[in-house]
Amino acid sequence: MYTLKEIQTKIGEYFAAENFNGTPAELYQPIEYTLALGGKRIRPTLLLAATDLFGGDIQQARYAAIGIEIFHNFTLLHDDLMDRSPVRRGQPTVYRKWDENTAILSGDAMHILAWQYFLKQPHSNSHAILQTFGQTCIEIHEGQQYDMNFEHRNDVTIDEYMEMIRLKTAVLLGGALKIGALIANADTADTEAIYNFGIKTGLAFQLRDDLLDAYGDTATFGKQTGTDIRDNKKTFLLLRAIEKGNATQQQRLRELFATTPQDPTDKINEVLDIYNQLDIRHEVEQRIAQLHDQALQHLDQIARPDTSKTPLRTLACTLLDRNF
Amino acid sequence: MYTLKEIQTKIGEYFAAENFNGTPAELYQPIEYTLALGGKRIRPTLLLAATDLFGGDIQQARYAAIGIEIFHNFTLLHDDLMDRSPVRRGQPTVYRKWDENTAILSGDAMHILAWQYFLKQPHSNSHAILQTFGQTCIEIHEGQQYDMNFEHRNDVTIDEYMEMIRLKTAVLLGGALKIGALIANADTADTEAIYNFGIKTGLAFQLRDDLLDAYGDTATFGKQTGTDIRDNKKTFLLLRAIEKGNATQQQRLRELFATTPQDPTDKINEVLDIYNQLDIRHEVEQRIAQLHDQALQHLDQIARPDTSKTPLRTLACTLLDRNF
């Protein structure tokens, strides 16, 4: 068994050993650039940790771990183009550093590369692994489309929002864990339990992201706060505030989320005031705690020694910034 | 053994039996729209014909055939966006009928769908089939990037051009045939021979496309002529004319291919005049004949009865509009 830190070190080594350059350079340089930006490598960590939990050899999961991270970065590359986001991980996004067509074509090539990494290492479970990967990939795209649809709708429910973030964010965490379990030939019940652990953790992770965007964080969260409010994004916070607020608060929120002022400071402050009147922050924190509990219950179901679950338990706590 | 016509009928039935709709509709409608536009279904025809040639059951190749056509249409969808092409098969392209983000995201989903179709039917050769598909996919993207690079270069050689069209066009024909052969468990030599038949046919097919764009065709070719000249595309015709022409002709071609007049009629006529002076049309026709001959030699190498090769022989003749 490996510790979380050892797994993370392994992933660093695995990526360092790869060479993503190729010809024509115009196609491969943006891929190399994107993957060199780093990030927390959460998905490959989950994948290797699951393989290890079920007694598999993490070397056997090496290329699937790289593949899932490449796929994740491909979705970010195309999302940044669709959202016209100029910066990712402190650096210009591909469509800004190069151009739109480069972002489209290099992203597409990166997507193929993800599949090719999955094919580098055949397993007895290969078919199930690839089907899980394909299902996960298509669901993420469905989630992204729902997210885009929600921009034009004013009647999004909290249930719809939770389903959207399940698809857009949670299934990739669940999928990474399930693939790790399949590589280790875990049984069906355990594979399902670890998948559900990932889904619940992913939902909580996205709610935490919504919360941090509104309220920020002391040190760990580097992003500007209030961007979701500025951009009129329908987050859990807004939807719950509209659900919970009185007619005046509902009306005012709808008005504010129909404006895009040059300087959004007053708008952000007024929205946060309403959130505070309605105790939204506390509600989201409670929801995160509840999802985290559910995630841990799924982990408890798994027929492995409790100590072997420490890396995944620690990782979920780190992702959700919750200690207990 | 099936006739070419029977194989084409089968493909029509296979596609008619599929339902590409799904939710969210905004993601799947453009996919359904794209696949309903039809086209000649050349790649699935090649794939099924190869399976049949090597004694395989074409029902076993059904989903791979659909998958390769979905992949091909995905590349067209993204190419149309990158090229800002308004029309495909007489209908508005996805990015024009919907918008750019729809074209990006639906294209990406279509790309996943292609892989998912390949995974619908496991084979004893699945790993080799998927690796061949992945290799083919990445090479097509390399070819597309070279094509884009050539727009900004004035020193493209004919060898570079042939390598570009090998990647962009020919490997998908070769790949379709190879996958069909792998499904039928053909041996390595035969698999290689059928792949090379596809490569040579694909190269000839692209040269014929270049020729038709300049000179048109009586009935079968519906496109406007001279668009490559209008758009300053580096085709085999131009590269050969520059190679063969005297200093004055070279100079004039370079000048003309640096202009984009409102009405391109005079430009097109002047370029065609130079091509005619240099007998370029005849040269390209010879090159096509040579590649066609080479393709047929590869087909001859295959250890199957000659009559069983009729569908592929007929298809190549149809694609190249050559009878003998």
Vertex B70: Cα angle to B64 and B71 (nearest 5): 90
Can you give A82-137 as a three-state secondary structure string? Answer: HHCCCEECCEECHHHHCCHHHHHHHHHHHHHHHHHHHCCCCCCCHHHHHHHHHHHH
φ, ψ of residue B22 in degrees (nearest 5): 180, 180
Region of B199 (left: φ > 0; alpha: ψ -120 to 50; beta: rest) is alpha
**Residues B72 and B171 sit within 8 Å (Cβ to Cβ):** no
Classify residue B32 by its DSSP letter. H
The string over B72-96, giving b where at least 16 C-beta atoms fall within 10 Å of a residue's C-beta and e elsewhere, is bbbbbbbbbbbeeeeebeeeebbbb
- Burial class of residue A79 (count of CB atoms within 10 Å of its CB; 0-12, 13-18, 19+): buried
**Residues A237 and A275 sit within 8 Å (Cβ to Cβ):** yes
Are A138 and B26 within 8 A, CB to CB? Answer: no
Residue B217 to residues A257, B203, B211, B213, B315: CA-CA distances in angstroms?
Answer: 57, 19, 9, 9, 19
The pLDDT value given to residue B209? 94
**Residues A177 and A198 sit within 8 Å (Cβ to Cβ):** yes
Q: Domain of residue B79: give its range.
A: 4-320
Residues 6+ apart with CB under 8 A from B192: none
3-state secondary structure of A66: helix
Which of chain A's residues have a Cβ under 8 Å away from the Cβ of B145?
24, 26-27, 105, 109
pLDDT in tens, A101-143: 999 999 999 999 999 999 999 999 999 999 999 999 999 999 9
Question: Which A positions 134-173 lie with beta carbon below 8 A of chain B?
Answer: 134-135, 137-138, 141-142, 144-146, 148-149
Enumerate long-range contacts of A5-8, CB under 8 Å, 24 or more apart.
Answer: A7/A45, A7/A48, A7/A49, A7/A52, A7/A58, A7/A311, A8/A41, A8/A45
Other beta carbons less than 10 A from residue A82's beta carbon: 18
Cis peptide before A261 (omega within 30 of 0): no
- Burial class of residue A323 (count of CB atoms within 10 Å of its CB; 0-12, 13-18, 19+): exposed
Residue-level pLDDT, tens digit, chain A, 324 residues: 999 999 999 999 999 999 999 999 999 999 999 999 989 999 999 999 999 999 999 999 999 999 999 999 999 999 999 999 999 999 999 999 999 999 999 999 999 999 999 999 999 999 999 999 999 999 999 999 999 999 999 999 999 999 999 999 999 999 999 999 999 999 999 999 999 999 999 999 999 999 999 998 645 545 568 999 999 999 999 999 999 999 999 999 999 999 999 999 999 999 999 999 999 999 999 999 999 999 999 999 999 999 999 999 999 999 998 754
Q: Which amino acid is at B111?
A: H
3-state secondary structure of A249: helix
The pLDDT value given to residue B216? 84
Q: How many residues does chain B have?
A: 324
Classify residue A224 by its DSSP letter. P
From first CA to last CA, the distance across chain A in angstroms is: 22
CATH label of the domain that carries residue A217: 1.10.600.10
Alpha helices in B17-61 (DSSP H): 25-36, 42-53
**Residues B67 and B121 sit within 8 Å (Cβ to Cβ):** no
The pLDDT value given to residue B321? 86
Give the nearest chain A residue to B77 (CA atoms).
A104
Q: Is B25 on the interface with A (CB under 8 A)?
A: no
The count of CB pairs under 8 A between chains A and B is: 104
Q: Is A115 on the interface with B (CB under 8 A)?
A: yes
Give the nearest chain A residue to B107 (CA atoms).
A108
**Residues B91 and B73 sit within 8 Å (Cβ to Cβ):** no
Q: Is B24 on the interface with A (CB under 8 A)?
A: yes
- Burial class of residue B182 (count of CB atoms within 10 Å of its CB; 0-12, 13-18, 19+): buried
Test the A interface: residue of B28, B121, B123, B138 with most A CBs within 10 Å: B138
Other beta carbons less than 10 A from residue A270's beta carbon: 15
Residue B288 to residues B46, B203, B234: CA-CA distances in angstroms?
Answer: 19, 8, 18
The alpha carbon of residue A246 is apart from the nearest alpha carbon of chain B, in Å, by 32
Retrieve residue A275's tokens. 């959130």
Residue-level pLDDT, tens digit, chain B, 324 residues: 999 999 999 999 999 999 999 999 999 999 999 999 989 999 999 999 999 999 999 999 999 999 999 999 999 999 999 999 999 999 999 999 999 999 999 999 999 999 999 999 999 999 999 999 999 999 999 999 999 999 999 999 999 999 999 999 999 999 999 999 999 999 999 999 999 999 999 999 999 999 999 998 645 545 568 999 999 999 999 999 999 999 999 999 999 999 999 999 999 999 999 999 999 999 999 999 999 999 999 999 999 999 999 999 999 999 998 754
Helix B236-244 to helix B280-301 angle (10° resolution) is: 120
The pLDDT value given to residue A324? 47
Alpha-carbon gap, residue B175 to A211, rounded angstroms: 49
The pLDDT value given to residue B225? 83
Are B141 and A81 within 8 A, CB to CB? Answer: no
Residues 6+ apart with CB under 8 A from A78: A103, A104, A107, B104, B105, B108
Q: Is A280 on the interface with B (CB under 8 A)?
A: no
The alpha carbon of residue B75 is apart from the nearest alpha carbon of chain A, in Å, by 9
The pLDDT value given to residue B324? 47
Helix A62-83 to helix A171-183 angle (10° resolution) is: 160
From first CA to last CA, the distance across chain B in angstroms is: 22
pTM, whole model, 2 decimals? 0.96
Are A27 and B104 within 8 A, CB to CB? Answer: no
Q: How many residues does chain A have?
A: 324
Give residue for tokens 């990494």: A117
Q: Nearest by CB to A26, from B82, B130, B149: name it.
A: B149
Alpha-carbon gap, residue B206 to B162, rounded angstroms: 9
Q: Is A81 on the interface with B (CB under 8 A)?
A: yes
Q: Nearest by CB to A108, from B101, B135, B141: name it.
A: B141
Which of chain A's residues have a Cβ under 8 Å away from the Cβ of B101?
82, 148
Which of chain B's residues have a Cβ under 8 Å away from the Cβ of A81?
104
β-pair type (B87-88, B91-92): antiparallel
Q: Is A25 on the interface with B (CB under 8 A)?
A: no
pLDDT in tens, A286-313: 999 999 999 999 999 999 999 999 999 9
Q: Nearest by CB to B104, from A24, A78, A116: name it.
A: A78
Retrieve residue A307's tokens. 């100590």
Are A24 and B134 within 8 A, CB to CB? Answer: no
Question: Looking at this predicted complex, what is its ipTM?
Answer: 0.96
DSSP H or E run through B88: strand B87-88
Give me the number of domains chain B comprises.
Answer: 1
Give residue for tokens 């999004």: A156
